[in-house]
Structure 1
Amino acid sequence: MSSYGELFSQINSDETSAIEKITNAYVTLLGCVSEVKRSIPKSGGNNNGASSSSSISDFNEDLRRALEQIRGAFCDFQEVVKKPSKKFGHGVNDSIIKLEQTSGSCAPEQVRAMLSTLEDHVMKLRFHIPSDVRRYTWEKQSNSVVDEKLPILHVNHKFLHCSVFTELREAFEELNTKLKQCLLCFAVVPENEVVKKRLLIDWWVGEHLVDSLATEEVADEILMELMAKGFIEPVMQRPKLVADRFKMQPRVRCVVIMLAHDAGLFDYDFNGNPTANFSLCSRLFLLKAYGSLEQVLSSSNFDPEKLQTLFNVNEPFPDSRFESFRKVNNDNIVDWFSKMKNVKVLYLGRWQSSGEHHIEVENIDFLKGLMNMKYLRLLSLQGISRINELPKSVCKLTNLRILDLKACHNLEELPDGIDLLKQLTRLDISECYLLDGIPKGLAHLSKLEVLKGFLIGNLKSGGRSCTLEDLIGLGSLSNLSINTSSRDFPTEEELHALSKLEALRKLGIAWGMKQENAVPKPAGTVNSDKLQLRPTKGLTKRLSNRSSLSNPETLGLPTKLEKLKLQCLPCSSSPDWLIPGKLGNLNKLYIRGGELKRLVPPQEGNDKWTVKSLHLKYLDKFDMDLEALHKSFPDLVFLENSKCRNLTSYPGVWRKP
C-alpha cells in the first residue's frame, strides 16, 4: 500500500460507526471553511469597468451559497454531537452570522480575515469533542476506549483534501531533508504531550541527524525553523526567558504522522499511536495500551536485525514486553537483544517532562544483550528503578554517543571498562544517589562534552574514584555538574583543576544535605530538605579544612563560564572563589537553597557582575534589597525571586523595563 490515504480509504465503515460519523462531520465542516477561504481572490476584483461589477456580484452570490453550505455542515455536526448552538460552538455560529450580514459590503480581503476567524473557532471545537461525546452521546456506555479514539483526523481520507493538510504539506516540502526528518521525530510523541528539547537533541544525535559537535546551536536553529513554519510551538515555563519545551497542535500532528507514515519512518494504529509494521518501517515502540506484541513479533516480516529504534512511549514495565519476544521467538531475552545488531536508538527510560511516570524492571538480564549493538548511538535508562549496576556489555558499545542514566536511583556503580566508550560525548548520572564513585577510566573519554552528576567527597573507593584533576585532559568538556558532600569544596587543588578545563562554559555545583563537618543549623531555620540533595551512600569527611584561599588573585572558577548553578551553598557571603572580575563572560547565575546572605565580592572592590539573568530560590537568610542587587549587578535584565523572604521588593519575577 503506497500512501497513507489509500490505507485509510479502506476503513470498514461498520466499525466504530459513531466515531466515524462525528469525525466525518467535523472534517466536512473544516473542509468547507478552508475551501471557501482558499477560493477567495487575493485582490478586490479586476479593473475592467462593467465586468468588475459583474464579478463582484458573482463573488457575493458564490459566497452566499458557500455560507449556506458551511451552516448546513455545522448543523449536521451539531446533530451528530448532540449539541445545541447556544452551548456548543457559539464562536462558530457568531462568525457565520457576521459573515452573512456583512460579506456583501466587504472586500475579499476582509472576508478572508473573517473566514480565518471562523476557521480558528472550528479548530477549537476539536478540543471539546471527546468530553462532549462522553456526556451526550455515549453517556451510558462504559467502554472508555471509544473516548480515546475520537476524533482522529488521520484515519479519514477526506482530511487529505482540505486546505489545512495542503498548506502544511507545502510547508513541509520546503524543508531540507534533515529538517524533514527532525520534524517527523515529533510524530512519536502522543497528542498534546510536551516534549523537552533534551529528548529531541538526544534522539537526533542517535538517529545521526545531528552531529554531536555543537548540538545545542544546531538544535536551536532547527527548532527555530520548525516554529517559523508553524509546525511546533514553544511551551514557556515561568520564569524562563527561552523555551526548552515544545508541543504540536493536534491538527499539525495529524498531518505529520501521515507524512511520517508515507516516509516509512513510523507506522500507526487507528488511535494515532506509533506501532510496528516491518513491511513499512524499522522502528518498534513500547506502549502500555498494547496487551501483547506477539502478533507483531510473529509476523513473517519481523526481523530484529532490521530494527533501527526501540522507543518506550509509556510502558512502565519494559522487561514484561521483552517476555513477549521470548515467547514468540523461543529465545531467552539476552539472545533476542543480541539479534538487534543494527539498532541506533535504544530509549527505554523516561522522556516525559513529569517525573510521575514510573518505570521499573524485574531484572537487568536483558541488558547483557547489548554486546552486539555496534551501531548504538543513544542508550537511555533514565528513571528506571531496580537497576543496581550496569553489565559489562555496556562497555562493548564502542559507537555510543549518549548514555543517559539520570534518576536511576538504585544504581550503585558504573562498570570499570567505561573508558572503552571512546565516542561518548554525553554522560548523565545525576540523581543517582547510591553511586559511591566514578571509575578513573572516565578520564580517558576524550570526546566527552557533557558530564552530569560528577561525584566529589566520597573516599570510600580508596582513591580509585575519578577526581577533578583526572578530568583536566578532557579538552572538549563544556558542561559539568558536580555533587559534593564537603562544605569545603572547592579546595585550592580543586579550583586549580577546574581552571584547567578551558572549554567549560556551564558549571553546576550542589553541596549535599548531610555533611559530617557541617555546622549545626540554629533552631528555627526553615527545613529545606526537599531542596537539597539526598546524601550519597557512604559519604565521608573531606580531609581539607580550608577556610579561605591562600592566593585568591590566581585561583577561581573557569574564566570563560557563561552559566553557573550553585545549590545549597554553605557560605553566608560570597565565597573567595566567586570573583566577578574573573567571570566576565558569565551571563546566567542560579543560586538555590543554602545559607547565603549577600552577593558582594569578597574583597569589597569595584568589580561588578556582568550577569544579566539572576535566579535566587529558597534563600531564607538572604537580606540584600533590590537596590543593593542592582549596584552589584548593573547589567541585570531579569531577576527571579522564589521564596527569599527578605527580598520582598520584587517577589516572583522582575524584568528590566
Structure 2
Amino acid sequence: MVHDHFELKMWVCVSDVFDVKIIVENIIKSATGQAPDQNLEMDQLQKQLREKIGGKKYLLVLDDIWNEEMEEWVSLKELLVGGVKGSRIIVTTRSWRVAKITSKCQPYVLKGLSDDDAWSLFKEIAFEQRYADSTNSAFVEIGKQILERCGGVPLVIRTIASTLSYKETEKEWRSFKDNELLRISQKEGKFLPTLKLSYDHLPSHLKHCFAYCRLYPKDYEIRVQTLVQLWIAQGFIKQLNQSQSLEEIGFGYFKDLVERSFFQEVKNNETWFTCNMHDLMHDLAESVAGIESSIVDSDKIASEVGEKCRHISINPSLIPLLKGNKLRTLLHFPNMRTEDLSEEIWDLIIANCRCLRVLKLNHLDIQKISPSIYKLKHLRYLDLSGNEVVEILPKSICKIQNLLVLKFDCCFRLQELPKKIEKLVNLTHPGCEGCNDLTHMPRGIGKLTSLETLSTFVVDKDGSHGGADLSELRLLNNLRGQLEIRNLGSVKNAKEKFKAANLREKQHLRSLVLEWYADNGDDDEKSLEDLQPHPNLKKLVINRWKGDAKFPSWLSLLTNLVHITIWGPSKFKHLPSFAQLPCLKQLRILYCTELESMDDNSPKGS
C-alpha cells in the first residue's frame, strides 16, 4: 500500500553526524540511485533536490537521528518543501528530545516483541543444532528466565541466543544465568551490558576482529573481503593450518561473528560480500575498543586522541591536530567530507606514523604520492583507490616489502605500475580495476606467486614499454575472483603465448574477461581455443574478438558457467548451443553483426 501511495520513496541513514550538506547529497542519491558530484555547492544541491521532489508526493525516512539542535533540524526541513500535499517525513531516533524537536506529532514508541514471539525467536537460534533440548523443561525454564532480561529487543535476543547455542549443557546455561547475567544493570533500556555478555564469551581472536569494526562509520556497508584484509594486516588472523590461506581463515572468523549475530544483512552480489552492523553493535564495538580506536571527525575529537590510540578513521585535514606516533591504522572513508590531501599532510603522516600497518587514503583527489612513502616500512595494506588524477606510482613503493595489499582501483589516469614490483614478494592483492589508461604490466610480475587477485592484465600494445607478456601468468595459479586480459590482439606468437598463460590451471578464478582491443596488424592467427580456462569458471566475457572465427570447443567443458557475454564486433559467424550448460542463467550476445546461425540442441520442452 505504501509503495503505491507515494510517487517517490527515499531512505537516508543519518546517525551521529548531522551535516545538512551530506544529508541532502544522500537524499538525492536515494532518489536518483546516483550520488551527486561532490564538488557541488549547497545552492546547487538545493536546486537538484527541489527539482527531484517538487510537485511529487514523496516519502522520506531519516533513520537514526541524534542531533538535538533545533536550528540544524529547521535548516534541513526548509530544504524539503515543495512536495505535494500528503508527502511525509518519518524520523527514527533513540532520543526523546530528537522526537520532540522534529515533529509536533506524538511519537510512536516501538515496543519489544511479545513473550510468545520473543520465545519463538530465542528457541529458533539457541536450539538450532539440537532441537530435542527445546522441549526439555530445564532448558525451557532457564531460557525463559534469561529471555526476561532481553527486553523484547530482537537484536539482544538473537545475540544472547547465539551465545547460548554454543553451550550444550544445563550446567553451562545455569552458570550463564546466575553469574554473568545476574551482574548486569537492570535499568530499563540499558542493553549494552547484555550484549557485552556475548562479546565476553567470544574467543580472544574474534574479540580483536569485532572491536576493530568500531572504525567504520555507523550504517556503513562493509565489504567483507576488505575487512578480512584489514584483520590480516593487523595480525589478527592466525594460520594454524597451512592448507588454508589467511583470507580463507579470515572469512571463517567473519562467518563465526555472523552466526553469533554481530553482523547482519550479509549480501552477495556475485562480485563481493557486504554486511552491516546494527547501531547497538557499533556502540558495543566502540565500548570494548576503548581508547585504542577512534573516529576522528572534529577538532575536539582530534585534540583528545591520546598516546595509547592505535587505530583511527579520520578526516585527513585533522591530521595536524593529532598527538602520538604509534598509530597502526589510519583510514579515510569517502563519506567524511574533506579537502585534497596536501604535501604537508603527506609529510606529517610519513614523519609521525612510522608504525602504520594500514593506510587508506582513497577518493581524495591526490595529485602525487609522496616518494618518501617507503619510510612506512611496516605497511601491509595501502589503499589509494579513486584518486583519479594520479598518473604514476613512486618507484620507492617497491621498498615496502611487507605489503600484502596495494590498491589503486579507479585511478583512471594511472599509466603503469612500478617496474620493480617483483620486489614486493609478499604481495597478494594488487588492485587495478578500472585503471583504463594502463599501457602494460611490469616484467617480473609473474614471480609474485603469492598473488591471490589480479583484476587486470594489460598486454603491451606495440612492445615499446618493455612490458610483461602472457607467459608471466603461467605460475599465478592462486588467482581468485576476476581476471581481465586486455589487448589480446597485440600478442605476437599468439599460439605459444596464449597457451603459456596456463588459464586451464587457474582453478580458483570465477570470472574471465578476454578483450581484443588493439591489433598489431600481423598475420598471426589468434584462436580462443588456446585460451582454455578451468571448468570452475562461472562468468565468461569475450569482447571484440577479431581472431579465429571459430568458437572454442572447450565451451562445453565449462559446466559451472552462470553468465556468458559476447560483445561484437567479432568474426563469429556460427555459435554452438548453450543448452548443454546446466548452470547458465544469463546469455548476452551484442553487436555480433556477422553472426549467421546458432545451434539449437536443447532438449524438447526446455
TM-score of the two chains, using structure 2 as the length reference: 0.62
Instruction: Name the counterpart of 1:227.
Output: 258
SS in 1 for 2:220: coil
Indicate conservation of the 8 Å contact 2:455/2:484, yes or no.
yes
Instruction: Name the counterpart of 2:68.
Output: 19
Partner amino acid, structure 2, of 1:608 = Q
Which of 610, 614, 618 is the matching residue for 2:585? 614
Instruction: Name the counterpart of 2:228.
Output: 201
Sort the Cα spacing of 1:187 and 1:380 in 2 relative to 1 into closer, same or farther, 3 A.
same
Instruction: Name the counterpart of 1:176.
Output: 203
Taking the aligned partners of 2:212 and 2:152, their CA distance within structure 1 comes to 31
Sort the Cα spacing of 1:89 and 1:95 in 2 relative to 1 into closer, same or farther, 3 A.
farther
Sort the Cα spacing of 1:617 and 1:456 in 2 relative to 1 into closer, same or farther, 3 A.
same
Instruction: Name the counterpart of 1:54.
Output: none
**Structure 1 residue 375: deviation in Å?**
1.6
Instruction: Output aligned runs, 1:452-463, within 5 Å.
Output: 452-456=455-459, 458-461=461-464
Which of 263, 285, 294 is the matching residue for 1:256? 285
Taking the aligned partners of 2:554 and 2:337, their CA distance within structure 1 comes to 47
Instruction: Name the counterpart of 1:406.
Output: 409
Taking the aligned partners of 2:376 and 2:189, their CA distance within structure 1 comes to 44
**Structure 1 residue 615: deviation in Å?**
3.5
Instruction: Output aligned runs, 1:486-565, within 5 Å.
Output: 486=488, 491-499=494-502, 502-506=505-509, 508-510=511-513, 515=517, 539=518, 541=520, 543=522, 545-546=524-525, 548=527, 555-565=530-540
Indicate conservation of the 8 Å contact 2:379/2:400, yes or no.
yes
Partner amino acid, structure 1, of 2:380 = R
**Structure 1 residue 79: deviation in Å?**
5.9
Deviations 1:355-405 (A, max 9, x none): xxx4302433xx212222222111111111221111111011111111111
- Does residue 185 (structure 1) correspond to residue 212 (structure 2)? The answer is yes
Partner amino acid, structure 2, of 1:445 = L
Sort the Cα spacing of 1:183 and 1:321 in 2 relative to 1 into closer, same or farther, 3 A.
farther
Which of 357, 372, 375 is the matching residue for 1:372? 375
Instruction: Output aligned runs, 1:446-457, within 5 Å.
Output: 446-456=449-459
Instruction: Name the counterpart of 1:469.
Output: 471
Larger radius of gyration: 1
Deviations 1:226-257 (A, max 9, x none): 222111113536xx479711111212211211
Instruction: Name the counterpart of 2:276.
Output: 247
SS in 2 for 1:449: coil
- Does residue 342 (structure 1) correspond to residue 342 (structure 2)? The answer is no
Which of 392, 396, 405 is the matching residue for 1:393? 396
Taking the aligned partners of 1:162 and 1:285, their CA distance within structure 2 comes to 29
Moved more, 269-278 or 217-226: 269-278
Q: Sequence identity of aligned pairs in percent?
A: 18
Instruction: Name the counterpart of 1:363.
Output: 368
Taking the aligned partners of 1:226 and 1:633, their CA distance within structure 2 comes to 46
Sort the Cα spacing of 1:286 and 1:229 in 2 relative to 1 into closer, same or farther, 3 A.
same
Indicate conservation of the 8 Å contact 1:570/1:596, yes or no.
yes
**Structure 1 residue 187: deviation in Å?**
1.4
Instruction: Name the counterpart of 2:421.
Output: 418
Instruction: Name the counterpart of 2:552.
Output: 577
Taking the aligned partners of 1:391 and 1:369, their CA distance within structure 2 comes to 9
Sort the Cα spacing of 1:214 and 1:447 in 2 relative to 1 into closer, same or farther, 3 A.
same
Taking the aligned partners of 1:275 and 1:618, their CA distance within structure 2 comes to 58
- Does residue 427 (structure 1) correspond to residue 430 (structure 2)? The answer is yes
Indicate conservation of the 8 Å contact 2:298/2:318, yes or no.
no
Partner amino acid, structure 2, of 1:543 = D
**Structure 1 residue 599: deviation in Å?**
13
- Does residue 485 (structure 1) correspond to residue 487 (structure 2)? The answer is yes
Partner amino acid, structure 1, of 2:471 = E
SS in 2 for 1:565: strand
Specify which structure has the bigger relative contact order, considering alpha-carbon pairs within 8 angstroms and separated by 6 or more residues: 1
- Does residue 320 (structure 1) correspond to residue 341 (structure 2)? The answer is yes
Which of 366, 382, 386 is the matching residue for 1:383? 386
Deviations 1:497-542 (A, max 9, x none): 23366244215444559x4xxxxxxxxxxxxxxxxxxxxxxx5536
Sort the Cα spacing of 1:160 and 1:472 in 2 relative to 1 into closer, same or farther, 3 A.
farther
Compute the RMSD of aligned alpha carbons: 5.1
Indicate conservation of the 8 Å contact 1:486/1:541, yes or no.
no
Partner amino acid, structure 2, of 1:19 = E
Partner amino acid, structure 1, of 2:583 = K
Instruction: Output aligned runs, 1:78-227, within 5 Å.
Output: 83-85=104-106, 88-89=107-108, 92=111, 119=153, 162-210=189-237, 214-227=245-258
SS in 2 for 1:236: strand
TM-score of the two chains, using structure 1 as the length reference: 0.58
Deviations 1:564-597 (A, max 9, x none): 331535489996436145435x354443754699
Partner amino acid, structure 1, of 2:552 = W
Unaligned runs of 5+ in 1: 1-16, 22-72, 97-106, 124-156, 326-332, 350-357, 516-538, 635-657
Indicate conservation of the 8 Å contact 1:474/1:501, yes or no.
no
**Structure 1 residue 120: deviation in Å?**
6.2
Taking the aligned partners of 2:553 and 2:300, their CA distance within structure 1 comes to 52
Indicate conservation of the 8 Å contact 1:402/1:426, yes or no.
yes
